[in-house]
């Protein structure tokens, strides 16, 4: 703790504060326990919670238990809490000190809490240019606005404290809020105040003139006049100084004039209120200093964990403020400001301004770089001073080639691509703090709001530079994917065995499904066949040496059994990709048919082979005579008068299920040997070393030969499918029939002497 703070405190309190600070650092570092303690923890971890010990435990043992609960059962660094800076330790220390201070005697506690509350309120009012204001500190961001509404109700309805809701039944109060406010804010107000939803009026933003995120002032004026004429009481207007989505600011000066004209309360909230602490404030945010109340969130702005939000307001009647809950007579409740009181002193005026200024400079740095990038559209109202940068990839300036893309690429496709862009940037540059936001008019955008993230993440200028570099790498990928998406669809529709899956939410080329050519199956069997073929097809595609990403589709995709292709690059050969999918799918379908029919084909084929072998033996017996079949006599006759009959080799065709002659096999083998003996071998076109599939020739420095890509890929998969089919055939052949196949192989490959053929067959049998 700093020395000025120690001097102001009681010695016992200062010592306690130092102990608490040391305890928090010990718990965070995880270095409290010894080696013996680690072994004891391993043995006793599963026994927690256990019974209370009769004699109690010391402080070290209790802190050890807390540390175990915080960090878990392992010592991995990834399981530790996030980094907390020194100012964060001061804020956390404030919560512990607040509980300790609460045990002081009442008079001393009252003086201390009054000092803490008055100091913090004065500092905040001066920092954010809010003169003569009071402050209400609250944990929930909406709690301050709820109590402000109670204050306004008590102001407009004098007998509300005694009559209650009956005072509101005759003249309904109306709360106005912008359509760009936080979702659910108005409903929460009505629920907490006990008002019907009819008391809430949503004011649309400008649709024809001005910003799309600013409240329509002319329409608001008309709504207020209509409500007054119908006997309603315009109560309060909620305006934005930085909308939650895009960071835009309403026309606060004009809105303040309307509130004065109709005796309404003006409440302002938003991230842009932080810029009021800077030396130069935007003209759009400056009128916020004249509003009736504003809600500040210094925690994320300054990187302070667990500090309360603050609602600054102006009102002259302390009794009504007390009735509304904005002030309290309980000194303990005033200690909510203690964490913020400690943190503001630790940072000082210069430290606070520097952190807000640093976040604003990061936004300006990113905005300047975005202006130099093609295909990027920014959505910033005040480019010179806005601390929030919202941008998205747009097709307006995206390069196009080939067919026209207008009318096909709907907003859903661009939203999917921008969602992918935001997720990739957040993943690859996590210190930037970018996120994805859905805006009603623009659609899906990427948001950079360093005022809400930079202090906690420690974002620096080099992180913004890395963000711009990654963005520059992804823009060509987005443009190529947008351009090739229609080409991919056209290629798929030309294939009879493929069906195109239209899913505009998929960030990539699109989806495809292989449809089997068999039509004689019932619906259940066909659905099972489609599921199996596309599942195997997806596995084989994922095993290819390519940069493309293959997936089974989005998590909540309505289309099942589909194969979705991810983002594309400039050198993608869409035609080759589709042909490869068709070729692999066809091979899988054929091997699947062979596998399904293997048992029946083999059974019938073996039966037919047995009949043919039996017939061949009978013909041989008739041709050679009975005497040649007797072993001893046959040998003598064969020696005296050899039989010149040739052995007819046969092979068993698993695909056809019948016996075939081996003569064509030997003919092909002889021809292959003849070709192998030639001096000039056959040339084979190959890919260059290290080249990926689906690359077009001449598209880049790593172009490949078009003559070998598809043919070699199809041939390799056919060989793979043939090997798998052979393994499946061998597994499905019954054991008792395997002997006949061995028999035929022996008869085909071995030439036995005449007269011993029958004996060999009988021996095999």
pLDDT at 127: 95
pLDDT above 70: residue 266: yes
**Could you tell me which of 214, 215, 235 has the C-alpha nearest to residue 224?**
235
Give residue limits of the domains in the chain: 11-81, 139-331, 355-395+410-478, 483-582
pLDDT digits (tens, 9 = 90+) for 541-573: 998 888 888 988 777 677 778 899 999 888 888
Highest mean pLDDT: which of 69-83, 575-589, 602-616? 575-589
Task: Please state, in angstroms and rounded to a whole number, the distance separating the CA atoms of residues 261 and 192.
Answer: 28
In contact, 764 and 746? CB cutoff 8 Å? yes
More confident call, 559 vs 483: 483
Lowest mean pLDDT among 1-15, 77-91, 183-197, 690-704: 1-15
Q: Domain spanning 139-331 has what CATH number?
A: 3.40.640.10
Q: What percent of the chain has pLDDT over 90?
A: 36
Q: What is the mean pLDDT of residues 241-266?
A: 93
pLDDT digits (tens, 9 = 90+) for 44-64: 444 445 667 677 777 777 777
Task: Write down the H helix ranges in 30-85.
Answer: 35-44, 59-71
What single DSSP character describes residue 432?
A: G
- Between CA 688 and CA 685 the distance in angstroms is 10
The answer to whether the peptide bond before residue 49 is cis (omega within 30 degrees of 0) is: yes
**Rounded Cα distance, 367 and 319, in Å:** 48
- pLDDT tens digit string along 668-677? 665 665 555 4
Predicted pLDDT of residue 596: 65
Q: Are 381 and 160 in contact (CB under 8 A)?
A: no
| Fold observed for domain 355-395+410-478 | 3.90.1150
List the one residue out of 431, 437, 399, 432 whose CA is nearest residue 418. Answer: 437
- Rounded Cα distance between 698 and 14, Å, is 74
Cα–Cα distance measured from residue 212 to residue 597, given in angstroms and rounded to the nearest whole number: 65
Q: What is the pLDDT of residue 85?
A: 63
Write down the pLDDT at residue 641. 66
- Asked if residue 382 has pLDDT above 90, the reply is no
pLDDT for res 595:
67
pLDDT category at 745 given cuts 50, 70, 90 is very low
Cα–chain center distance at 254: 41
User: pLDDT at position 379, please?
Assistant: 77
- By C-alpha distance, which of 526, 389, 556 is closest to 467? 389
String of DSSP letters for 313-345: E--S-HHHHHHHTSS-S-HHHHGGGHHHHHHHH
pLDDT band at 314 (very low <50, low <70, confident <90, very high): very high
Closest CA to 597 of 757, 437, 728: 728
Here the tokens at position 437 are 């936001």
- Percentages of the chain per state (helix, strand, coil), in multiples of 5: 55, 10, 35
Res 649 pLDDT > 90: no
Average pLDDT value for residue range 517-538: 80
């Amino acid at each position: 703790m700093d020395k000025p703070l120690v001097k102001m405190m009681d010695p016992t309190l200062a010592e306690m504060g130092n102990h608490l600070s040391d305890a928090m650092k010990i718990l965070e570092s995880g270095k409290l326990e010894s080696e013996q303690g680690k072994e004891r923890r391993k043995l006793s971890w599963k026994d927690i919670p256990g019974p209370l010990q009769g004699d109690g435990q010391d402080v070290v043992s209790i802190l050890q238990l807390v540390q175990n609960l915080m960090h878990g059962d392992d010592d991995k660094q990834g399981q530790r809490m996030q980094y907390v800076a020194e100012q964060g330790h001061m804020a956390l220390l404030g919560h512990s000190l607040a509980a300790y201070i609460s045990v002081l005697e009442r008079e001393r506690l009252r003086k201390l809490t009054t000092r803490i509350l008055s100091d913090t309120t004065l500092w905040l009012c001066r920092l954010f240019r809010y003169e003569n204001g009071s402050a209400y500190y609250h944990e929930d961001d909406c709690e301050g606005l709820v109590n402000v509404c109670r204050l306004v109700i008590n102001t407009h309805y004098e007998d509300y404290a005694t009559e209650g809701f009956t005072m509101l039944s005759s003249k309904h109060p109306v709360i106005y809020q912008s359509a760009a406010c936080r979702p659910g804010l108005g409903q929460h107000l009505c629920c907490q105040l006990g008002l019907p939803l009819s008391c809430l009026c949503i004011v649309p933003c400008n649709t024809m003139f001005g910003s799309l995120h600013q409240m329509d002032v002319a329409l608001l004026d008309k709504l207020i006049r209509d409500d007054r004429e119908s006997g309603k009481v315009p109560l309060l207007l909620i305006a934005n100084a930085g909308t939650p989505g895009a960071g835009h600011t309403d026309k606060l000066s004009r809105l303040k004039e309307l509130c004065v004209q109709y005796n309404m309360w003006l409440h302002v909230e938003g991230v842009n209120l932080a810029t009021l602490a800077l030396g130069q404030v935007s003209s759009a945010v400056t009128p916020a200093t004249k509003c009736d109340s504003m809600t500040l969130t210094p925690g994320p702005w300054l990187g302070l964990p667990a500090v309360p939000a603050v609602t600054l307001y102006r009102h002259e009647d302390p009794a009504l403020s007390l009735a509304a809950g904005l002030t309290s007579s309980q000194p303990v409740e005033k200690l909510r400001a203690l964490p913020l009181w400690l943190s503001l002193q630790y940072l000082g005026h210069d430290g606070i301004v520097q952190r807000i200024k640093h976040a604003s400079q990061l936004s300006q740095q990113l905005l300047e770089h975005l202006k130099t990038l093609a295909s990027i559209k920014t959505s910033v109202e005040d480019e010179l001073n806005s601390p929030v940068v919202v941008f998205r990839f747009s097709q307006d300036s995206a390069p196009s080639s080939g067919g026209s893309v207008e009318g096909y690429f709907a907003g859903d496709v661009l939203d999917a691509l921008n969602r992918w862009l935001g997720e990739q940037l957040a993943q690859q540059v996590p210190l930037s703090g970018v996120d994805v936001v859905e805006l009603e008019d623009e659609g899906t955008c990427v948001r950079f709001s360093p005022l809400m993230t930079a202090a906690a993440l420690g974002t620096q200028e080099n992180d913004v530079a890395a963000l711009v570099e990654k963005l520059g790498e992804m823009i060509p990928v987005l443009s190529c994917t947008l351009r090739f998406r229609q080409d991919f669809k056209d290629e798929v529709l030309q294939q009879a065995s493929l069906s195109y899956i239209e899913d505009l939410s998929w960030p990539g080329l699109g989806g495809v499904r292989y449809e089997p050519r068999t039509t004689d199956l019932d619906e259940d069997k066909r659905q099972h066949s489609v599921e199996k073929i596309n599942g195997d097809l997806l596995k084989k595609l994922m095993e290819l040496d390519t940069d493309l990403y293959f997936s089974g589709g989005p998590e909540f995709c309505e289309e099942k059994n589909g194969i979705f292709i991810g983002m594309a690059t400039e050198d993608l050969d869409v035609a080759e990709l589709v042909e490869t999918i068709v070729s692999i799918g066809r091979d899988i379908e054929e091997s699947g048919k062979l596998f399904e029919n293997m048992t029946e084909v083999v059974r019938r084929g073996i039966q037919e082979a047995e009949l043919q072998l039996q017939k061949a033996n009978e013909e041989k017996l008739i041709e050679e005579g009975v005497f040649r079949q007797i072993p001893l006599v046959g040998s003598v006759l064969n020696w005296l008068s050899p039989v010149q009959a040739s052995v007819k080799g046969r092979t068993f065709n698993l695909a056809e299920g019948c016996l075939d002659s081996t003569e064509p096999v030997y003919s092909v083998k002889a021809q292959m040997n003849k070709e192998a003996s030639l001096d000039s071998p056959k040339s084979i076109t190959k890919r260059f070393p290290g080249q990926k599939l689906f690359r077009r020739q001449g598209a880049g420095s790593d172009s490949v030969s078009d003559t070998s890509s598809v043919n070699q890929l199809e041939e390799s998969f056919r060989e793979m499918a043939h090997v798998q089919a052979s393994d499946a055939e061998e597994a499905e052949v019954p054991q008792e029939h395997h002997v006949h196949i061995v028999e035929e192989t022996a008869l085909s490959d071995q030439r036995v002497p005449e007269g011993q053929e029958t004996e060999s067959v009988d021996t095999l049998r």
